[in-house]
């Protein structure tokens, strides 16, 4: 584990040389002082108090222009004052001192480097260009002035770093000038990547059990409903247009299961009813990139100051995607609604979704005149990045209001109507609001008044910027900081209302001075001549040595009004609209495995339940937590006792090692019954993490009313160990092969390719794996789980495939290639238990028997503690075992893991393991895989011998009759020995009442040489 150490003396030094006297950014002239101002101050950009333009501090005076055409005293100033956004007014002052003298007097020797954007095609300042005006030029002193290059002339006035800044600004000036308008007919550069999408095991017992989701999303509110953001670096690295799989998700309840063919949109209470085909085909559609951000983005920073009513978003609750659909105004006009109301009154357009969260349908409204303005691009979107909307993002249609907060962009849109007043539904009133900080709860007259006050509603998004790199937890060894090398600081920025983010700045000294950052927008970001609906990415390249000496890394940005972000976020009861400066802090650490210290970077917070950010809970929060933990009854409960209470009529949960009877909460729980029941009878850390991430102090008070006691010390240790093991397993599973389909904690869709009858009630099912993932990834004897979606949960059954039987690889003969993993399919052999008058039949086996060819079902795995590695080697519960002789006691469909073991041993030419099998069934027709078993036995040269035992055989049966007992076991199997192991799988009665007692009496020992599949 890394340990923090006191930073060396140089890390506390100023980032660059500092003057002994104060240097004020607002000064109208560069001060005449014998002391050279700091390099950062010279290159820093600020808003000068005495100019109409944002210009560098070093250029805060407008220069006078010389009549001499060769006079190049003012390239930097001229560049900034000629930015295309506004025409410069007449200059009202004349700088009395030559700008050249001023600049030369204070030229920095080692300023922070501003590199040039290679992707934009701008040439770098080449090393051979950085030379003295007289070095190797070939010119004499008489004609050198005449033949100086442009660079040499600039070099007389600026350092190479300043010239790099100049070139970058010149490029940005040209880049901004040439930004293209978007005609709404472009295609998204991003496409859906279904291979990264699967069903999370967290959803299997929730109403969203049918819904595939990206594994890259970090869940913020537990298992249900889904509220999630992507890892910040993954979101940024995906580009300026966000893939659907990485777009943040905000749900208030279960995702409705809607079909394109049947969904209808009701306009103005039945005046116009549109099918989805009508919406797509009867109107002209626009397809434009839009940045969508939750107004709770970065809420976790506020929650560490004081807990708000909202859950803790990190900095990833923003994304930018292409959204396609007709304009809302065109649909309203088609419904006979005039574009302008004749009576001059204010009207609102109301929207309602088809979802059913706990407080009623989600609805909201926007001003009618705003909706009817075509330059506002209010869209009824049915595509996202040129594909149908994912269910989490509103399939089949959602409202998209560019420049507005995400909470106004209704998903699963069902109704639209006009009213003379704002919407008064629960979610319009009690969510997406910013109230004054003196309101600290939702109760009372002040809250009632202000939540219904029209001016507290969040509509247009606010100005915001975030640092992405250095990433949270990124380490830079001090030894890697070589002179001359640079590091690129990067991030994103956005504003609402269609306003452009016109400038981004970074500070390395806690805001004392600022560095200009280069911006990059998505292609063609402009609509209607001036609307910027997208976000932007920004960067600035700084010298490594300066970065490592920085006090902090801070970002802020400016919009078209020349306004910037506040230094600190403003706490409010809903935790909305936090847009204070984003600060990343460096820490010097010493790794145990390295002699060289490193700089370790921390963001303000980690998303989800992580606590690795530099912000820590305030004193107020700590006192509140202590109060919540006080007063638990002394009674203790074991894990076994808690696990019995897992029903909706008897629901216990464990939060922070305390036991609560939550049965009475189920009927009124705001998140619905499913959110609580997923933790009923569970003794794990997930319940505590999820409860803390969602609930406020009021919820803790209600929880205390249900307290029963605490868990035992043993149960508490189990919770801790399980959490640590789960974290380790998750980290390891994320590093698996890209070719492997199976994931241990996520459900992956596979397609039924073929169904072949083996007997009247037995079928062989062949499934196709997803494209690009040809390996199933299952160890021999392990199982996979098959999942089928029911209305409120998944039906799950475990199976051991009968193909593949050998691992992917080149070992073995070519004749066995059909048995090897890696061909993109797998096979299950399943006996169907049909329903009768006496019993309902097997649920999953009947579903498989009826499943149409081409339909999908989900798989997950591997499961099972036993894995055969070949040549007698096993891994059992993470321990290694070797057996030269193997006994198998199998019954009914329990033969499949044993079949996988013996098949691998017989198919592998170098495997010399001997195997004896007792296979118990009811009758001849119940013996699964008999033809294959007979073939393996025949070709084994005596290594494999199988004894079939039938309880109800036909008169023609020549084999063993009756039930498995001690005599049959001793006759058919190897006797106990040092290298002899036994493996069992079959009906519980056979195993527990017959096989195990006989094996124990014979001398075998459980968990030593007797194991169950």
Q: Cis before residue 862, ω within 30 degrees of 0?
A: yes
Ranges assigned E (strand) in 354-500 = 363-367, 379-381, 383-384, 387-388, 398-400, 413-419, 464-469, 475-477, 486-494
Asked if residue 980 lies in contact with residue 1009, where contact means CB atoms within 8 angstroms, the answer is: yes
Q: What angle do CA 576, 691, 656 make, to 5 degrees?
A: 135
Instruction: Look up residue 114 and give its DSSP letter.
Output: -
Q: In the chain, which residues have pLDDT < 70?
A: 1-147, 192-196, 483, 627-632, 670-672, 693-698, 729-737, 810-814
Q: What angle do CA 818, 819, 825 make, to 5 degrees?
A: 75
Specify the pTM.
0.72
Structure tokens at 846: 């009947």
Asked if residue 248 lies in contact with residue 230, where contact means CB atoms within 8 angstroms, the answer is: yes
Paired with 764 in beta bridges are 756, 829
Task: In the chain, count H helices and then E strands.
Answer: 25, 51
Distance CA 868, CA 888 (A): 13
3-state secondary structure of 663: helix
For residue 147, what pLDDT is reported? 62
Distance CA 803, CA 820 (A): 8
C-beta neighbour count of 300 within 10 angstroms: 28
Q: Are strands 746-757 and 707-711 parallel, antiparallel or unpaired?
A: unpaired
Structure tokens at 453: 């006050």
Distance CA 68, CA 145 (A): 15
DSSP per-residue letters across 42-111 = HH-EEE-TTSSSEEEGGG-SPPPPPS-TT--S-HHHHHHHT-TTSPPPPP----SS-HHHHHHHT--SSP
Place of tokens 């040209």: 174
DSSP per-residue letters across 683-703 = -SHHHHHHHHHH--HHHHHHH
Q: Which CATH number fits domain 621-733: 3.30.450.20, 3.30.420.40, 3.40.50.410, 3.10.120.10?
A: 3.10.120.10
Distance CA 936, CA 884 (A): 18
Asked if residue 246 lies in contact with residue 197, where contact means CB atoms within 8 angstroms, the answer is: no
Structure tokens at 45: 């950009």
**283-to-278, 376, 387, 401, 642 alpha-carbon distances in Å:** 8, 17, 18, 18, 58
For residue 698, what pLDDT is reported? 63
User: Does the domain formed by 194-456 have CATH 3.30.450.20?
Assistant: no
For residue 734, what pLDDT is reported? 54
698: phi then psi, degrees, rounded to nearest 5: -60, -40
Distance CA 800, CA 827 (A): 9
| CATH number, domain 865-1013 | 3.40.50.80
Asked if residue 422 lies in contact with residue 428, where contact means CB atoms within 8 angstroms, the answer is: yes
For residue 1, what pLDDT is reported? 45
Asked if residue 308 lies in contact with residue 299, where contact means CB atoms within 8 angstroms, the answer is: yes
Distance CA 280, CA 267 (A): 15
For residue 422, what pLDDT is reported? 97
Structure tokens at 279: 């919406």
Asked if residue 540 lies in contact with residue 517, where contact means CB atoms within 8 angstroms, the answer is: yes
For residue 7, what pLDDT is reported? 39
CATH architecture assignment, domain 736-862 = Beta Barrel (2.40)
Q: Do domains 736-862 and 865-1013 have the same CATH topology?
A: no
DSSP per-residue letters across 788-807 = EE-SSSEEEEEE--SB--B-
Of the candidates 868, 846, 848, which has an alpha carbon nearest to the alpha carbon of residue 857? 848
Listed by start position, the domains of the chain span 12-177, 194-456, 621-733, 736-862, 865-1013
Residue 841: CA count within 13 A, CB half-sphere = 15
């Amino acid at each position: 584990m890394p340990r923090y150490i006191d930073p060396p003396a140089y890390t506390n030094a100023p980032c660059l040389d500092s003057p002994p006297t104060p240097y004020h950014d607002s000064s109208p002239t560069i001060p005449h002082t014998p002391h050279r101002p700091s390099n950062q101050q010279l290159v820093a950009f600020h808003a000068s108090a005495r100019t109409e333009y944002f210009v560098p501090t070093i250029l805060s005076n407008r220069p006078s222009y010389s009549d001499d055409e060769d006079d190049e005293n003012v390239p930097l100033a001229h560049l900034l004052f000629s930015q295309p956004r506004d025409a410069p007014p007449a200059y009202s002052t004349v700088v009395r001192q030559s700008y050249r003298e001023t600049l030369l007097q204070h030229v920095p020797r080692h300023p922070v480097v501003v590199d040039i954007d290679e992707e934009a095609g701008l040439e770098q300042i080449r090393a051979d260009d950085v030379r003295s005006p007289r070095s190797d030029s070939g010119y004499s002193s008489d004609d050198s002035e005449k033949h100086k290059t442009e660079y040499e002339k600039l070099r007389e006035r600026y350092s190479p770093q300043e010239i790099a800044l100049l070139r970058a600004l010149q490029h940005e000036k040209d880049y901004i000038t040439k930004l293209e308008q978007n005609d709404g007919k472009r295609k998204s550069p991003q496409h859906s990547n279904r291979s990264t999408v699967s069903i999370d095991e967290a959803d299997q017992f929730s109403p969203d059990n049918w819904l595939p989701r990206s594994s890259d999303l970090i869940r913020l509110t537990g298992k249900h409903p889904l509220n999630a953001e992507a890892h910040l670096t993954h979101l940024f690295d995906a580009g300026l247009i966000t893939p659907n799989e990485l777009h943040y998700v905000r749900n208030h309840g279960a995702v409705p299961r809607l079909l394109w063919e049947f969904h209808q949109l009701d306009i103005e209470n039945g005046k116009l009813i549109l099918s989805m085909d009508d919406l797509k085909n009867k109107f002209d559609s626009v397809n434009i990139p839009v940045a969508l951000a939750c107004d709770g983005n970065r809420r976790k920073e506020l929650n560490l100051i004081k807990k708000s009513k909202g859950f803790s978003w990190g900095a990833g609750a923003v994304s930018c995607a292409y959204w396609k659909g007709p304009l809302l105004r065109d649909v309203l006009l088609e419904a006979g609604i005039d574009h302008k109301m004749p009576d001059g009154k204010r009207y609102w357009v109301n929207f309602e979704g088809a979802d059913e969260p706990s407080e009623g349908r989600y609805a909201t409204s926007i001003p009618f005149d705003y909706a009817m303005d075509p330059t506002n691009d209010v869209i009824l979107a049915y595509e996202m990045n040129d594909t149908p909307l994912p269910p989490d993002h509103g399939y089949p249609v959602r409202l998209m209001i560019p420049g507005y907060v995400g909470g106004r962009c209704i998903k699963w849109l069902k109704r639209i109507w006009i009213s003379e007043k704002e919407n008064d539904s629960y979610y319009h009133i009690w969510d997406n609001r910013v109230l004054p900080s003196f309101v600290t709860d939702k109760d009372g007259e002040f809250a009632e008044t202000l939540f219904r006050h029209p001016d507290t509603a969040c509509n247009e998004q606010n100005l915001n910027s975030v640092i992405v790199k250095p990433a949270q937890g990124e380490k830079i060894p001090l030894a890697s900081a070589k002179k001359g090398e640079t590091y690129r600081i990067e991030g994103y920025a956005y504003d609402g209302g269609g306003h452009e983010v016109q400038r981004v700045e970074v500070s390395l000294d806690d805001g004392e001075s600022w560095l200009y950052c280069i911006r990059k927008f998505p292609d063609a970001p402009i609509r209607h001549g001036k609307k910027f609906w997208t976000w932007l990415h920004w960067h600035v390249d700084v010298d490594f040595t300066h970065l490592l000496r920085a006090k902090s890394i801070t970002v802020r940005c400016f919009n078209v009004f020349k306004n910037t972000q506040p230094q600190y976020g403003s706490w409010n009861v809903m935790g909305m609209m936090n847009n204070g400066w984003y600060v990343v802090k460096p820490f010097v650490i010493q790794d145990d495995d390295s002699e060289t210290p490193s700089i370790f970077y921390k963001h303000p917070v980690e998303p989800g339940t992580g606590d690795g950010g530099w912000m820590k809970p305030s004193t107020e929060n700590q006192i509140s937590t202590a109060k919540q933990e006080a007063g638990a009854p002394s009674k203790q409960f074991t894990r076994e006792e808690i696990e019995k209470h897992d029903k909706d009529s008897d629901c216990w949960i464990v939060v922070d090692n305390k036991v609560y009877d939550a049965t009475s909460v189920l009927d009124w729980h705001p998140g619905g019954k499913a959110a609580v029941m997923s933790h009923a009878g569970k003794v794990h850390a997930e319940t505590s993490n999820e409860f803390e991430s969602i609930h406020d102090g009021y919820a803790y008070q209600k929880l205390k009313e249900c307290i029963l006691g605490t868990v035992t010390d043993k149960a508490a240790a189990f919770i801790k160990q399980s959490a640590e093991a789960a974290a380790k397993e998750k980290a390891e599973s994320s590093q698996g092969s890209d070719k492997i389909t199976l994931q241990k904690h996520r459900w992956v869709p596979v397609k039924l390719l073929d169904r072949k009858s083996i007997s009247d009630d037995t079928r062989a099912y062949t499934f196709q794996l997803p494209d690009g993932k040809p390996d199933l990834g299952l160890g021999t004897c392990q199982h996979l789980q098959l999942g089928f979606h029911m209305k409120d949960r998944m039906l799950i059954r475990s199976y051991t495939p009968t193909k593949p039987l050998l691992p992917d690889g080149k070992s073995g003969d070519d004749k066995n290639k059909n048995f090897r993993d890696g061909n993109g399919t797998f096979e299950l052999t399943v006996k169907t238990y049909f329903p009768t008058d006496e019993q309902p039949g097997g649920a999953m086996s009947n579903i498989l028997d009826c499943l149409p060819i081409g339909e999908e079902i989900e798989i997950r795995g591997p499961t099972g503690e036993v894995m055969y590695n070949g040549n007698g080697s096993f891994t059992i519960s993470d321990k290694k075992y070797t057996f030269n002789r193997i006994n198998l006691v199998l019954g009914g469909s329990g033969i499949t893991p044993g079949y996988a073991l013996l098949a691998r041993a017989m198919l592998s030419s170098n495997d010399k393991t001997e195997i004896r099998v007792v296979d118990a069934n009811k009758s001849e027709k119940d013996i699964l895989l008999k033809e294959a078993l007979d073939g393996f036995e025949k070709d084994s040269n005596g290594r494999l011998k199988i004894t079939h035992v039938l309880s109800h055989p036909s008169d023609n049966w020549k084999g063993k009759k009756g039930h498995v007992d001690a005599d049959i076991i001793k006759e058919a199997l190897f006797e106990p020995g040092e290298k002899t192991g036994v493996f069992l799988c079959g009906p519980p009665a056979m195993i527990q009442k017959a096989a195990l007692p006989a094996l124990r009496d014979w001398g075998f020992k459980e968990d030593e040489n007797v194991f169950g599949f």
